[in-house]
């Protein structure tokens, strides 16, 4: 039987309402006999997202224990739909969770890993084996061990891959948001990883125009070992991070092999600018140069010095002749 | 024996030489920033940045001193060209530099004249000090505080026009400095102008005529015969071989200082 748009919306609305009431009255705790809001076993896959987010996508209030459990797995509906996995239903990864209340057996089940899906020829171009190698050598993994997983940075409900089609400022903003989510928040760092770090502003006090740097380059561009992809997962120890300005501020800028790598592949010349791939996004001292202006300046300098030399020579010769006569 | 005349007031000399020092530092550090590279050994980028920012701000402050000095002393009037200077004066001065100087023609301009600068100097200094320098300072400030620049102009980063203008004008100013230093040697003697800018005083006499050319020829070329002396001093300078201050001082009449 085909379901009309109106009927479908109503059904979802009722489920959301029931879900909210369920949370409010503390139903669904193990051992409690409160009825589930509806039978989910036959829920359409596309609807599970809406259904699950009825509890997990809200800021639930009510019974403290239920709220705590729901908050342990919060999902922002808008961010999820914009994420790389936004087209998947919840049960695509969280199979078994369509049963409500969730059974203890399902709750105890091991969480899915990235590699549960991201393997095989289909995902070869992402280079997951290389990513794993880099990750294993990163300071995150070596310092934190197994406590640090892919999910520590990449929440699968919000994750967006680095795309060469996205504007550089947006790429920078998103990429840096992953880092500062933990590194900006001292409490979070202490709570999650048991470490205390100085404030980001303090560590980066040496950086001129700090805010501008943070807005225009990724943390990764200085804190990872470059590879031939846009992103390296080998986060370096603090002491190995880039501090030498000319690594970026030069014609051979490392940004060209990292942040701008996709643009470099389709190198274009705009009005004689070197490294013109960055021209639409940023002006970088020492990196963005105009070859015509450079050539003109060298020519003008040559003419000036040659002119002065010849003029002085002429005066010298004239002076000698004058003396003789 | 006549006394040398005061030519450059103290404030102007102090400004001139500090400005020169800042300028040299800005050229070196500016080149190091523009041609930055891991293999570039002009100056490390980090040092060049600090030097460039610091001396750039210092030069901007010195520029304000220059503006105030010109506003409240008579020095400012030397930058205002008269119409005649822009036409025949400019041409005559240019001809002198291109041709006359090699023939030993008299210098067409007496630096002790109430008009301290010759027409080329006047026009160049006007452009340098009242157009190029303020533009370089403003664009430099925009690069120092990029948040003041618009984010985007015509789909390009807002600081780009400022950066291009800054580097292009910075380079032209550098070339001006080179030419300025060289042309300063075309005074009565090679050292006369440098000395005057250091001590503030200039010889009371002016010996603009060549010993190589007959006086009549000089007149025919439109030079000022009143300032010419027919003596043939044993000049030791090149380019202006006429100079011999010792011989000339004997018959020197009191001259009016250009400015003080």
State the ipTM, two decimals. 0.75
For residue range A192-240, list pLDDT tens digits in order. 778 888 888 888 998 888 888 888 888 988 998 877 676 888 999 988 9
User: What local confidence, expressed as pLDDT, does residue B87 receive?
Assistant: 81
Q: Choose, out of A311, A313, A317, A321, the residue to mutate when testing the contact with B (most B CBs < 10 Å).
A: A311
Number of neighbouring beta carbons within 10 Å of residue B51: 19
Of A224, A64, A90, A245, the residue nearest A157 (C-alpha) = A90
Contact A211 B49 (CB under 8 A): no
User: What local confidence, expressed as pLDDT, does residue B50 receive?
Assistant: 93
User: What local confidence, expressed as pLDDT, does residue B209 receive?
Assistant: 42
Q: Does this model's pTM top 0.80?
A: no
Burial class (CB in 10 A: 0-12, 13-18, 19+), B66: buried
Would an 8 Å CB–CB cutoff place B209 in contact with chain A?
no
User: What local confidence, expressed as pLDDT, does residue B25 receive?
Assistant: 97
Chain A residues within 8 A of B179 when measuring between CB atoms: 304, 308
Would an 8 Å CB–CB cutoff place B194 in contact with chain A?
no
Burial class (CB in 10 A: 0-12, 13-18, 19+), A42: exposed
Confidence band for B205, pLDDT divided at 50, 70 and 90: low
Query: Is there a contact between B65 and B35 (Cβ–Cβ < 8 Å)?
Result: no
Phi, psi (rounded to 5 degrees) for B156: -130, 155
Lowest model confidence (mean pLDDT) among A32-46, B105-119, B227-241? B227-241
User: What local confidence, expressed as pLDDT, does residue B125 receive?
Assistant: 93
For residue range A275-313, list pLDDT tens digits in order. 666 666 678 888 888 888 899 999 999 999 999 999 999
The rounded Cα A301 to chain-centroid distance in angstroms is 46
Across the range B224-246, mean pLDDT stands at 35
The rounded Cα A31 to chain-centroid distance in angstroms is 42
Confidence band for B244, pLDDT divided at 50, 70 and 90: very low
Is B84 or A300 the better-scoring residue by pLDDT?
A300
Is B29 or A38 the better-scoring residue by pLDDT?
B29
Contact B104 A318 (CB under 8 A): yes
The most confident of the ranges A207-221, B124-138, B145-159 is: B124-138
Would an 8 Å CB–CB cutoff place A250 in contact with chain B?
yes
Strand-pair partners of A289:
A274
Contact A280 B235 (CB under 8 A): no
Confidence band for A255, pLDDT divided at 50, 70 and 90: confident
Confidence band for B13, pLDDT divided at 50, 70 and 90: very high
User: What local confidence, expressed as pLDDT, does residue B69 receive?
Assistant: 93
For residue range B159-200, list pLDDT tens digits in order. 888 999 999 999 999 999 999 999 999 888 889 889 989 998
User: Chain A, 209-238: which have a CB under 8 Å from a chain B CB?
Assistant: 209, 211-212
Q: Choose, out of B33, B166, B241, B242, the residue to mutate when testing the contact with A (most A CBs < 10 Å).
A: B241
Confidence band for B235, pLDDT divided at 50, 70 and 90: very low
User: What local confidence, expressed as pLDDT, does residue B248 receive?
Assistant: 35
- Locate A210 and state its tokens: 């700090």
């Amino acid at each position: 039987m085909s379901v009309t748009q109106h009927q479908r919306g109503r059904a979802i609305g009722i489920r959301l309402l029931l879900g909210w009431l369920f949370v409010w009255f503390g139903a669904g705790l193990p051992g409690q006999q409160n009825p589930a809001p509806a039978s989910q076993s036959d829920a359409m896959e596309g609807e599970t997202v809406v259904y699950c987010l009825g509890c997990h996508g809200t800021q639930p209030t009510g019974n403290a224990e239920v709220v705590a459990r729901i908050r342990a797995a919060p999902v922002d509906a808008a961010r999820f739909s914009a994420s790389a996995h936004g087209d998947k239903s919840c049960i695509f990864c969280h199979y078994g969770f369509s049963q409500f209340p969730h059974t203890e057996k399902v709750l105890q089940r091991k969480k899915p890993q990235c590699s549960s899906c991201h393997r095989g020829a289909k995902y070869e171009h992402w280079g997951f084996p290389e990513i794993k190698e880099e990750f294993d050598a990163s300071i995150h993994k070596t310092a934190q061990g197994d406590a640090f997983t892919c999910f520590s940075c990449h929440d699968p409900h919000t994750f967006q891959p680095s795309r060469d089609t996205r504007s550089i400022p947006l790429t920078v903003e998103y990429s840096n948001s992953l880092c500062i989510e933990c590194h900006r928040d001292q409490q979070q760092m202490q709570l999650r990883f048991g470490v205390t770090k100085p404030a980001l502003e303090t560590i980066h006090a040496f950086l001129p125009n700090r805010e501008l740097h943070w807005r225009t380059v990724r943390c990764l561009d200085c804190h990872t070992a470059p590879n031939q992809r846009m992103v390296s997962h080998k986060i370096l120890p603090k002491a190995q991070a880039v501090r030498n300005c000319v690594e970026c501020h030069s014609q051979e800028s490392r940004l060209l092999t990292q942040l701008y790598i996709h643009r470099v592949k389709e190198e274009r010349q705009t009005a004689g600018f070197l490294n013109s791939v960055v021209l639409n996004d940023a002006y970088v001292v020492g990196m963005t140069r105009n070859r015509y202006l450079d050539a003109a300046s060298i020519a003008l300098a040559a003419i000036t010095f040659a002119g002065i030399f010849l003029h002085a020579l002429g005066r010298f010769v004239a002076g000698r002749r004058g003396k003789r006569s | 024996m006549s006394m040398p005349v005061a030519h450059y007031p103290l404030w102007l000399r102090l400004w001139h030489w500090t400005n020169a020092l800042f300028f040299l530092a800005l050229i070196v550090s500016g080149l190091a920033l523009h041609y930055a590279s891991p293999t570039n050994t002009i100056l490390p980028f980090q040092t060049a940045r600090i030097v460039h920012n610091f001396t750039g701000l210092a030069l901007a402050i010195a520029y304000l001193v220059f503006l105030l000095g010109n506003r409240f002393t008579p020095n400012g009037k030397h930058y205002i060209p008269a119409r005649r200077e822009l036409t025949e004066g400019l041409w005559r001065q240019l001809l002198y530099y291109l041709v006359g100087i090699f023939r030993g023609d008299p210098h067409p301009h007496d630096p002790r004249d109430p008009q301290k600068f010759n027409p080329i100097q006047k026009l160049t200094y006007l452009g340098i000090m009242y157009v190029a320098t303020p533009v370089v300072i403003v664009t430099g400030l925009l690069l120092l505080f990029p948040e003041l620049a618009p984010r985007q102009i015509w789909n390009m980063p807002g600081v780009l026009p400022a950066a291009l203008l800054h580097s292009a004008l910075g380079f032209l100013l550098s070339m001006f400095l080179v030419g300025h230093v060289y042309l300063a040697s075309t005074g009565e003697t090679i050292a006369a102008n440098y000395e005057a800018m250091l001590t503030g005083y200039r010889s009371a006499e002016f010996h603009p005529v060549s010993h190589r050319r007959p006086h009549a020829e000089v007149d025919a070329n439109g030079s000022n015969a009143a300032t010419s002396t027919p003596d043939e001093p044993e000049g030791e300078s090149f380019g202006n071989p006429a100079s011999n201050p010792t011989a000339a001082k004997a018959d020197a009449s009191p001259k009016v200082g250009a400015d003080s």
